Amino acid sequence: METKLRDFGKSVVKPATAAGQPTDRRAWSVPIAGIWVPFFLGTNVLGESTVSAEALGAPLRLAKEKDGSIKFSPSGRPVIRVAKELSDQVKLARENYIVGLQLHIAGVRKDKPEEYKAEAARAQAAGTPIIKADKDALDAYNELVKAAQEAARSQVPTPAGERELVAA
């Protein structure tokens, strides 16, 4: 019995995937059930948000057509979407996160302008050879493609003369 319990425990804590796909849908590359729902439950508890219980209890919904019927993908599977209220809250969190990053950047630039300029120059100098190597690789590839196209064109036989269509 103890072995079965250990096996069960291992199966519960082991990431389960189907054909290499994550089991948790994501919004903004963050797992919905694993991160967003618990996060918004917590912000609701602290009074920092008011995401509805319906949105948190059923974060994934069937997508509907304009006429109210279920929407299907070209492969025939029903389309699943994130509940609009939850999606809107994730969008707001993302936008606030971006504003926080921008404020942080502005603060560093203001507090340490010389160090910031030096770091930016160092990063640009370090990236220059990488960018040049990528450009050279693309140029070389484009030359190979151009040569292959020209070779293919030169091997296409030219028609000896066009024949005139005659009514039979």
Structural domain of residue 146, as residue ranges?
Answer: 113-153
Are 70 and 53 in contact by the 8 Å Cβ rule? The answer is no
Residue 7 has pLDDT above 80, yes or no: no
pLDDT, average across residues 100-105: 96
Angle between helices 37-45 and 84-111 (to 10 degrees): 80
Q: What is the pTM of this model?
A: 0.66
* 118 and 46 share one domain: no
pLDDT tens, position by position, 132-156:
999 999 999 999 999 999 998 888 6
Mean pLDDT of the chain: 88
Report if residue 137 sits inside a domain: yes
Report if residue 74 sits inside a domain: yes
Report if residue 28 sits inside a domain: yes
* 24 and 107 share one domain: yes
Report if residue 124 sits inside a domain: yes
Q: How far is CA 58 from CA 23, 42, 55, in A?
A: 16, 17, 5
* 104 and 124 share one domain: no
27: closest CA among 56, 67, 53, 64?
56
* pLDDT band, very low/low/confident/very high, at 3 (cuts 50, 70, 90): low
**pLDDT value for 82:** 96
* 81 and 128 share one domain: no
* 129 and 145 share one domain: yes
Cα 36 to Cα 26: distance, rounded to the nearest angstrom: 9
End position of a domain, from candidates 77, 111, 145: 111
Domains contained in the chain, number: 2
